[in-house]
Amino acid sequence: MATTKQEFGNIIDGKVISSQVRESIKNEIKEMTEKGLRAPCLVVILVGDRKDSQTYVRNKKKTALELGINSIDKTLPEDISEQELIEIVKSYSADPEIDGILVQLPLPKHINEETILNQICETKDVDGFHPVNIGKLGMRGRVADFQPCTPKGCIELLDRSGIKIEGKNAVVLGRSNIVGLPVSLLLLNRNATVTICHSKTQDLKEKCREADILVVAIGQAKLVKKDWIKQGAVVIDVGMNTDENGKLCGDVDFNDCKETASYITPVPGGVGPMTIAMLMKNTLESAKKKLLK
């Protein structure tokens, strides 16, 4: 359990947990390649020269290399046409040597993101954003090929901290396609009773106070205070914002809430490091499905 030892205010350390996940991925890949199987292969497509996107892509490539994942960077000019990009994504989708395809968002304005993401074969959708994979998350008895990385990282943090999900009241703040909605579905699949809140929710604070597990993904710096949470609740903060001093902070006021929560994730060092680790895990799982049939 990667937490500090107190009854309340246990910090769920995403840096420690993500490094444990990365280590086990690295070991599995080593075993695969020692048996003569090829390494998993991830293609990262970057269109244009946005500095923030370049940084994300560089970090993904660095992690992939550390773990033994073959990473192909496909950097394309800002003015590439939608049709040209469609053809490139389709060709990677058809290539049996490729296990995962990631298109770095946002795309330039003249390209429709939905059209492009729909071209990724759902069995290589390691980001987990394909509508078929999201749809399967919401249907009983179906198994999505991949779960979106940040929501999957939230569940991994709970599991690896020994926190039981089944039967708990889970409240999710936020309903975005990339975090709020899929994390709600993952919690539901684990038999939590889930309430999803958003900007039009009435009595938000009271709803949050009902949570045994509160997941916050709204993009509002330090909005959630200690009087929003029940004594002993588990608080997972997905938010990444800058505070009044320009420092990275979450959607939860960590210092205010840490004594009231039984477990809480810090920002930075909580959910953030899990996202890339889960991308690598999805890529490995994709390769295993093909290579270890």
Is there a contact between 101 and 43 (Cβ–Cβ < 8 Å)? yes
Q: Does position 220 bind ligand NAP by CB under 6 A?
A: yes
Footprint on residues 149-168 left by ligand NAP (CB under 6 A): 150
In the list 115, 123, 195, 241, the residue contacting ligand NAP (rule: CB under 6 A) is 241
- Pairing status of strand 193-197 against strand 169-173: parallel
Which residue has 């990365």 as its token pair? 22
Of 13, 99, 127, 237, which residue is the catalytic one? 127
Q: Which residue spans within the chain are E strands per DSSP?
A: 10-11, 41-47, 70-76, 100-103, 169-173, 193-197, 213-216, 234-237, 241-242, 248-249, 263-264
Nearer to ligand NAP, 98 or 172 (CB): 172
Q: Which residues pair with 198 in a beta bridge?
A: none
Q: Provide the sign of the torsion angle of the four alpha carbons 187, 170, 270, 247, taken in this order.
A: positive
Residue 207 binds ligand NAP (CB under 6 A): no
**Residue 202: active-site member:** no
Nearest distance from C-beta of residue 199 to ligand NAP, angstroms:
3
Kindly tell me the burial class for residue 214, based on how many C-beta atoms sit within 10 Å of its own C-beta (0-12, 13-18, 19 or more).
buried
Determine which one of 60, 152, 222, 258 is catalytic: 60
Give min distance, CB of 123 to ligand NAP, in A: 23
Q: Contact between 182 and ligand NAP (CB under 6 A)?
A: no
288 as an active site residue: the answer is no
> Of 75-83, 114-122, 133-141, 235-243, which segment contacts ligand NAP by CB under 6 A?
235-243
Measured distance CA(13)–CA(189) in Å, rounded: 24
> Does 60 qualify as catalytic in the annotation?
yes
CA atoms within 13 Å, Cβ hemisphere of 145: 23
240 makes contact with ligand NAP (CB under 6 A): yes
Distance in Å, CB of 178 to ligand NAP, minimum = 5
Select from 58-66, 72-80, 159-167, 200-208 the region that touches ligand NAP (CB under 6 A). Answer: 200-208
Give phi and psi for 76, each to the nearest 5.
Answer: -120, 150
String of DSSP letters for 165-208? -TT-EEEEE---TTTHHHHHHHHHHTT-EEEEE-TT-SSHHHHH
Nearer to ligand NAP by Cβ, of 20 and 201: the residue is 201
If one asks whether residue 199 binds ligand NAP (CB under 6 A), the answer comes out as: yes
* Nearer to ligand NAP among residue 128 and residue 174 (C-beta): 174
Footprint of ligand NAP on this chain (CB under 6 A)? 150, 173-176, 178-180, 197-201, 204, 217-220, 223, 238-241, 271-272, 275
Residues marked active site are found at 60, 104, 127
